[in-house]
Amino acid sequence: MAVKSLADLLAEGVEGRGVLVRCDLNVPLDEAGTVTDTGRIDASAPTLRALSDAGAKVVVTAHLGRPKGGPDPKFSLAPVAAVLAERLGRHVQLAGDVVGTNALARAEGLTDGDILLLENIRFDPRETSKDDAERQALAAELAELVGGPDGSGGAFVSDGFGVVHRKQASVYDVAALLPNYAGRLVAAEVKVLEQLARAGERPYAVVLGGSKVSDKLAVIENLAGKADSLIIGGGMCFTFLAAQGSPVGTSLLQEEMIDTCRRLLEEYGDVIHLPVDVVVAAEFSADSPPETVPADQIPADKMGLDIGPESVKRFTTLLSNARTIFWNGPMGVFEFPAYAAGTKGVAEAIIAATAKGAFSVVGGGDSAAAVRQLGLAEDGFSHISTGGGASLEYLEGKTLPGIEILY
């Protein structure tokens, strides 16, 4: 059975109908509480606008950060509501609680086309509970907000791709209680990932960065046999360099993963490409002076914070011939200007390959943040995913609970 789409729901008619939408609005805030990257809010807007324009009474649920089992003003969705209202060009109400008296009163008072954002769903510890009954109780209260006591008449739209790998009340359990549909964002993400999982057009290049090998191990093992080239940068490259017997100084190192990296290099040595030079510093600081050294000659008192210019050149050559590219994880500490050139260079190589006809996907998380922070054109890539963890788990071959429940 195929997943029903937002178009199916709109065709059925939503005027006057309560629709619960799970969005991923987990955006970064600065210390003043200002949203510093609106990517996920922007990605959520089309589904919400379509429902509002069609006259639905829209109730949005989302999380922000990791509050510890109860309300915390630091994680309020108030700044998100303000940006969302700006993007949609219409008022967005913010409930004072999740499924409490304020949320209920506001939901009952909605008129056609209104949008209500519930307060951070993780303020209710039942959202992430391992106890099925607890999650299901919260899901029932969410369903009641859009469909009366038994949920009848309401509908659920899953549009938070960044959370579909989580078995949580607002992602999984509520989808079992209401007629469910995939929002535009989730439908688009799944279509793109299906194409990547099939390895699409060849040559297929995978670019992996970030800090830990352990985080990417399953995706390396699943894609190494499908990809024509697997480019490794970021903090995780130092564990691979150590596995080759190179000194890595004070660089990030997962010693317990060295044997695993050695095995991967033996098994997929023709596919895995490591940096040939790295940019090192005496300490982890934006002000620490950069020095470029060969990747197998990192001084004992220095740490690698980026890949070097020669590595960027080599990786650019590999990427220039690719027809399908998946990138997840920065090549260095791009937040520090002196150590951002590796990430920027590889990103620009992917943009150039895309301009020549390659199909390119940025796998969410820090990679998507880097694209925006480094001032690169987002439309230079075929697709920028909103869910780093979800896209990785899909490419590892895992089942995503929030997608599975929609079938």
CA angle 307–308–310, rounded 5-degree value: 125
* Residue reference for tokens 């106890």: 131
CA atoms in the 13 A half-sphere facing the CB of 287 = 0
**Would you please indicate which residues are annotated as catalytic (active-site) residues?**
40, 212, 365, 389
181 close to 158: Cβ distance less than 8 angstroms: yes
Per-residue pLDDT of the chain (407 residues; tens, 9 = 90+): 578 999 999 999 999 999 999 999 999 999 999 999 898 999 999 999 999 999 999 999 999 999 987 999 999 999 999 999 999 999 999 999 999 999 999 999 999 999 999 999 999 999 999 999 999 999 999 999 998 555 568 999 999 998 999 999 999 999 999 999 999 999 998 888 888 877 678 999 999 998 888 888 888 888 888 899 999 999 999 999 999 999 999 999 999 999 999 999 999 999 999 999 999 999 999 999 999 999 999 999 999 999 999 999 999 999 999 999 999 999 999 999 999 999 999 999 999 999 999 999 998 778 988 998 999 999 999 999 888 788 888 888 888 999 999 98
- What span, in angstroms and rounded, lies between the C-alpha atoms of 309 and 206? 19
- Structure confidence at residue 148 (pLDDT): 59
Token digits for 369? 């943040």
DSSP string, 259-320: HHHHHHHHHHTTTEE--SEEEEESSSSTTSPPEEEETT---TT-EEEEE-HHHHHHHHHHHH
40 close to 26: Cβ distance less than 8 angstroms: yes
CA atoms in the 13 A half-sphere facing the CB of 196 = 32
Mapping DSSP to helix (H, G, I), strand (E, B) and coil, where does residue 180 land? strand
| pTM of the complete model | 0.83
The amino acid present at 253, given as its one-letter code, is L
Task: Domains for the chain: give ranges and CATH numbers.
Answer: 6-184 (3.40.50.1260), 198-395 (3.40.50.1260)
Q: At what angle do helices 341-355 and 309-320 cross, to 10 degrees?
A: 20
- Structure confidence at residue 195 (pLDDT): 83
Q: Which of 402, 405, 406 is nearest to 163 (CA)?
A: 402
* Residue reference for tokens 């589904």: 47
- Structure confidence at residue 291 (pLDDT): 97
How does pLDDT run across 103-116, given as a tens digit for each residue?
Answer: 999 999 999 999 99
Token digits for 42? 């922007």
Q: Which strand (E) or helix (H) includes residue 22?
A: strand 18-23
- Structure confidence at residue 214 (pLDDT): 84
- What span, in angstroms and rounded, lies between the C-alpha atoms of 317 and 100? 57
Question: Do β-strands 272-273 and 229-232 pair in parallel, antiparallel, or remain unpaired?
Answer: parallel
Mapping DSSP to helix (H, G, I), strand (E, B) and coil, where does residue 329 land? coil
State in Å, rounded, how far the first CA of the chain is from the last one.
6
* Max Cα distance, the chain (Å): 67
Phi, psi of 75 (to 5 degrees): -110, 20
Distance of CA 361 to the CA centre of its chain: 12
The CA-atom distances, in angstroms, between 11 and each of 50, 197, 208, 225 are 12, 31, 41, 42
